[in-house]
């Protein structure tokens, strides 16, 4: 797969690990997240805030102009496609020369970190005793960059630091795919 903007080959997509959202049963409360701080941190990155705000404005306008029944139906029919479009456009991936985080509904914003700007990195495990998911903290020339709730952060960090050391030359021997939780 190729990045549409630069035409570079995508080496690895970095979705949030499903284990960050794992639930456990607590008797009086029912099912709750096992790691609530990690899940909320990952959700703050994944929630389509722009689509929800735009949909809320459209919902209120339709509800006031057309009444509660038709306004609610129109608001819901606007919300569902906008949220779906923004969630499909929100992604983080690695190319041979940079780490790209893109987000947005109408204007797509991209934050690119070239591998040459990465000085060092470390994997942090927010939950003691689990190595199934964690954060990757990269020390760059512009400050720290955190990739949250990544499955198998040690392997991803080795890939990033290997690409930085080789200047992207070793990217051909890496298989493309998604990280698993």
What digits encode the pLDDT tens for the residues 128-145?
A: 887 888 899 999 988 898
- Only one residue has tokens 């997509």, namely 13
pLDDT band, residue 169 (cuts 50/70/90): low
Phi-psi region of 67 (alpha: psi -120 to 50; beta: other; left: phi over 0): left
Token pair belonging to 140? 């760059």
51: left (phi over 0), alpha (psi -120 to 50) or beta: alpha
Q: Taking the model in full, what pTM does it have?
A: 0.75
Where helices occur in the chain by DSSP H, the ranges are: 36-46, 49-66, 68-89, 153-166
Tens digits of residue pLDDT in 32-63: 888 888 888 888 888 898 999 999 999 999 99
Q: How far apart are CA 125 and CA 128, in angstroms?
A: 7
Map residue 61 onto helix, strand or coil: helix
Would you call 26 helix, strand, or coil by DSSP?
strand
pLDDT of 83 strictly over 80: yes
Q: Hey, what are 147's tokens? A: 């990739």
The distance between the two most distant Cα atoms of the chain, rounded to a whole number of Å, is 62
Which of helix, strand or coil describes residue 177? Answer: strand
* Residue 129 to residues 116, 125, 126, 154, Cα–Cα distance (Å): 33, 8, 9, 15
């Amino acid at each position: 797969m190729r990045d549409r903007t630069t035409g570079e080959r995508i080496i690895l997509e970095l979705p949030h690990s499903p284990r960050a959202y794992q639930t456990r049963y607590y008797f009086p409360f029912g099912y709750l997240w096992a790691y609530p701080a990690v899940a909320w941190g990952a959700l703050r990155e994944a929630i389509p805030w722009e689509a929800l705000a735009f949909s809320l404005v459209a919902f209120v306008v339709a509800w006031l102009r057309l009444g509660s029944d038709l306004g609610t139906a129109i608001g819901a029919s606007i919300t569902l496609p906008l949220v779906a479009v923004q969630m499909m456009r929100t992604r983080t991936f690695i190319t041979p020369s940079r780490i790209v985080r893109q987000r947005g509904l109408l204007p797509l914003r991209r934050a690119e970190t070239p591998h040459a700007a990465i000085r060092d990195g470390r994997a942090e495990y927010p939950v003691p005793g689990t190595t199934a998911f964690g954060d990757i903290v990269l020390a760059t020339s512009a400050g720290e960059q955190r990739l949250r709730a990544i499955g198998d952060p040690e392997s991803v960090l080795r890939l990033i630091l290997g690409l930085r050391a080789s200047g992207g030359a070793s990217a051909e021997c890496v298989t493309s795919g998604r990280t698993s939780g």
